[in-house]
Amino acid sequence: MMRRLFAFLSAGVLGFVAFTGIANAQQLVDAGKVGDGSGGLAFVLMTAMVMLIWAALFFMDRIRRRRGSDDDATTDGS
């Protein structure tokens, strides 16, 4: 149990440290230029981000429901 907790905490800290360097760049994609396609890139990146957030929420809900049904089955059988 402690190993798993330590692994999650260390992965979280490493991820946080890795992304702080990226966050220092105030604007990763410049969508204001006309004619070079940067507006399209910004749209594609935003769409990918929205899809990833939606997928994460979907799977978190699915896991929560699955664990909830497993808990109900074990408590009813006792």
- Sorted by where each begins, the domain ranges of the chain are 2-72
Residue 74: the pLDDT is 54
For the chain, what is the mean pLDDT?
79
What's the pTM? 0.47
Residue 78: the pLDDT is 47
Over 90: is that where the pLDDT of 4 sits?
Answer: no
Residue 36: the pLDDT is 73
Over 90: is that where the pLDDT of 69 sits?
Answer: no
* CA–CA gap between residue 19 and residue 39 (Å, rounded): 24
Q: How far is CA 13 from CA 10, 24, 29, 31, in A?
A: 5, 17, 26, 31
Amino acid identity for residue 72 in this structure: D
What value does the mean pLDDT take over residues 44-62? Answer: 92
* CA–CA gap between residue 51 and residue 54 (Å, rounded): 5
* CA–CA gap between residue 47 and residue 53 (Å, rounded): 10
Amino acid identity for residue 51 in this structure: M
Over 90: is that where the pLDDT of 55 sits?
Answer: yes
